[in-house]
């Protein structure tokens, strides 16, 4: 029997044909397809959003934090239960990430612990919507307003997640940053999108994503009048999205809601099959809200009779790929040693990590594929 990978992108002829059209057009870098994808994405999010396409969510987080004014010596509060990119972009700017433990049930940052971490140096909060479930944004916004802090959402997992009936990206945060990496709910291979309601922030991100140049190449090279002239107004970065990547995104975005519906159905199938087993099932979104179901993360109980690592090994022996999201930042040498972090500083993140397994959940999985996963889990847990 063939190996069932942990994740696969769902690419069809629409995406392929759009990429071929870009290749034939002669415009490969940031151009008309990127502009179209940005416009489509802003319309999808709504609420007068502006969307800035970039080559990764990491780049988008860096741009957004730079645009809100994070500089050397500042502190930015975030969670240890995330990929290192969330924190490393803070270091890019010479600022310090301050890590706050997660809620044990949701794996999202615990708002009740945020205020105790605020100091005179604190300038922003970066909540991470883990697995596609929204953080408690109302509580976070309340804290941010009280202490005059910026909020930049790490929404890498969160398309099309909703919070209190609004899509992530349409809330009152200064910016939300989405990922289109190959494993995400929609993909451009590599890529990301910064979404904001601030024209000033959007303008800054656009300038800084391409070397601090005042005009994009697409604007300069397609102008009716000669427009070779440009000005470098800041020491920017090389973070622009290509039209080849945007070609994928244009059609992936059209499928985002259908993809979410299938992921939700698959999560429900897992829930039903695993009920009563010695594990904790992932939390669902509140009524009338949407979980993106980027990940389906179970937690093994002690009475499961098998360690997390042994479980993943046993699944691999049955031809099924699993993963772990995430190895918390406080366990990585760089973050541990730089800030003197210890596991006991983050008891919920630590225990969650020790028990967590991400099972395959992606739209190209067939019903037979999912039943293979279910049967393997039951056999390993001897149920």
Last residue of a domain, one of 204, 222, 254: 254
Q: How many structural domains compose the chain?
A: 2
Q: What is the pLDDT of residue 230?
A: 87
Residue 240 sits in the same domain as residue 281: no
Residue 133 sits in the same domain as residue 49: yes
Residue 229 sits in the same domain as residue 302: no
Please name every residue paired with 300 in a beta bridge, in sequence order, or none if there are none: 279
On whether residue 112 sits in a domain, the answer given is: yes
Residue 248 sits in the same domain as residue 264: no
Q: What is the pLDDT of residue 223?
A: 58
Domain with residue 336: its CATH number is 3.90.1150.10
Residue 307 sits in the same domain as residue 372: yes
Domain with residue 240: its CATH number is 3.40.640.10
Residue 228 sits in the same domain as residue 308: no
Residue 176 sits in the same domain as residue 318: no
On whether residue 284 sits in a domain, the answer given is: yes
On whether residue 126 sits in a domain, the answer given is: yes
Last residue of a domain, one of 254, 282, 312: 254
Domain extent, residue 274, equals: 256-380
Q: What percent of the chain lies above the pLDDT cut of 90?
A: 95
Q: How many CA atoms are closer than 13 Å to the CA of 111, on its beta-carbon side?
A: 13
User: Helix H segments across 148-281?
Assistant: 199-208, 217-221, 243-254, 256-274
Residues 76, 65: Cα–Cα separation, whole Å? 9
Residue 75 sits in the same domain as residue 155: yes
Residue 118 sits in the same domain as residue 217: yes
Q: What is the pLDDT of residue 160?
A: 98
Residue 185 sits in the same domain as residue 111: yes
Task: Pick out the chain residues at pLDDT < 70.
Answer: 216-227, 383
Please name every residue paired with 53 in a beta bridge, in sequence order, or none if there are none: 193
Q: What is the pLDDT of residue 215?
A: 75
On whether residue 8 sits in a domain, the answer given is: no
Phi, psi of 231 (to 5 degrees): -130, 140
Last residue of a domain, one of 237, 254, 271: 254
Residues 132, 263: Cα–Cα separation, whole Å? 11
Residue 238 sits in the same domain as residue 309: no
On whether residue 1 sits in a domain, the answer given is: no
Q: Among this protein's residues, is 184 annotated catalytic?
A: yes
From the candidates 33, 113, 184, 303, give the one annotated as an active-site residue.
184
Residues 339, 321: Cα–Cα separation, whole Å? 34
Q: What is the pLDDT of residue 1?
A: 77
């Amino acid at each position: 029997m063939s190996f069932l990978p942990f994740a696969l992108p769902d690419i069809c002829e629409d995406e392929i044909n759009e990429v071929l059209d870009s290749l034939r057009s002669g415009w490969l870098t940031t151009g008309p397809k990127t502009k179209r994808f940005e416009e489509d994405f802003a319309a999808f999010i709504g609420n007068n959003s502006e969307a800035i396409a970039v080559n990764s969510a990491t780049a988008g987080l860096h741009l957004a934090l730079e645009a809100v004014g994070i500089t050397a010596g500042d502190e930015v509060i975030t969670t240890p239960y995330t990929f290192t990119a969330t924190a490393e972009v803070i270091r890019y700017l010479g600022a310090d990430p301050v890590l706050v433990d997660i809620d044990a049930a949701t794996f999202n940052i615990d708002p009740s612990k945020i205020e105790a971490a605020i100091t005179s140096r604190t300038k922003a909060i970066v909540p991470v919507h883990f697995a596609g479930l929204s953080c408690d944004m109302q509580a976070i916004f309340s804290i941010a307003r009280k202490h005059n802090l910026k909020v930049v959402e790490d929404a890498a997992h969160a398309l099309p997640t909703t919070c209190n009936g609004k899509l992530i990206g349409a809330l009152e945060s200064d910016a939300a940053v989405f990922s289109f990496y190959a494993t995400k709910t929609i993909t451009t291979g590599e890529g990301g999108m910064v979404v904001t309601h601030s024209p000033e922030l959007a303008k800054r991100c656009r300038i800084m994503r391409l070397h601090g140049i005042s005009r994009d190449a697409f604007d300069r090279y397609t102008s009716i009048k000669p427009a070779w002239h440009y000005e470098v107004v800041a020491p920017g970065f090389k973070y622009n999205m290509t039209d080849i990547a945007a070609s994928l995104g244009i059609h992936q975005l059209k499928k985002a809601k259908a993809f979410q519906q299938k992921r939700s159905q698959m999560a429900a199938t897992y829930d039903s099959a695993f009920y009563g087993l010695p594990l904790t099932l992932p939390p669902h979104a509140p009524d009338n809200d949407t979980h993106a179901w980027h990940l389906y993360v179970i937690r093994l109980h002690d009475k499961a009779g098998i360690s997390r690592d042994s479980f993943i090994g046993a699944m691999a022996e049955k031809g099924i790929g699993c993963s772990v999201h995430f190895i918390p930042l406080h366990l990585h040498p760089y973050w541990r040693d730089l800030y003197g972090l210890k596991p006991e500083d983050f008891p919920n993140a630590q225990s969650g990590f020790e028990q967590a397994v991400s099972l395959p959940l992606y739209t190209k999985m067939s019903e037979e594929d999912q039943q293979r996963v279910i049967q393997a889990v039951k056999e390993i847990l001897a149920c």
